[in-house]
Amino acid sequence: MVFSHLRRSCALLLILSICVFASSSDAQRSRPNRRSCKCMPGDACYPTPRQWQELSSRLSYPLITNQRPLGAACYRGTGEFNSRQCSSATTSINDPIFRAGQSNAAQFMTFEALANGTSIQDCTFDGPMSGTCYQGRIPPMSVNVTNAADVQEAVRFASRHNLRLVVRNSGYVNIYVPKNEENFD
């Protein structure tokens, strides 16, 4: 029963997400030609807010914007603290069905961390926290595709703006497909 529900949930929840650098200095670094690297925030080719809005208007469901990691609700003093959401997320942190249904969560919390040179940027939580909740590899924008037309729109948009495209689903694929902050998931 649980696996049947999980399969149905996963089949219905195919999410394409846009991952961006958490640091603007990273976004400004120089890149080789467009054919070998993908477009990032700060690049002339990166979509404008109006272009994101136009994409959203062509989708079955609006573009999910400004999403933060699940743990952001647990960080006191950030303006994002919400004890009710923190309690809910903490209770469900290891529930695969819950995590599969969230566009701002990976299959396992360890997949959400971003190794960035000499540091690991993540947003771990197990109740109210202090410190910094980093975006990690959680995309700030996602597309919840529900039909072939949504997939086509997302693929065309990624191609037009030279964004790296990665399809997110559930299962062990997360272990084998490299995810990073440059992906349009």
DSSP string, 61-118: S--B-S---GGGGGBTTSS---HHHHHHHHHHTT-HHHHHT-TT--SSGGGG-EEETT
181, 41 Cβ separation under 8 angstroms: no
Alpha carbon dihedral 18, 142, 128, 98, in 10-degree steps, equals -130
Alpha carbon dihedral 49, 50, 51, 57, in 10-degree steps, equals 110
Q: Which is more confident, 125 or 185?
A: 125
* pLDDT value of residue 36: 55
Q: How confident is the model at residue 185 (pLDDT cuts 50, 70, 90)?
A: low
What global pTM score does this model have?
Answer: 0.65
Mean pLDDT over residues 23-38, rounded?
Answer: 47
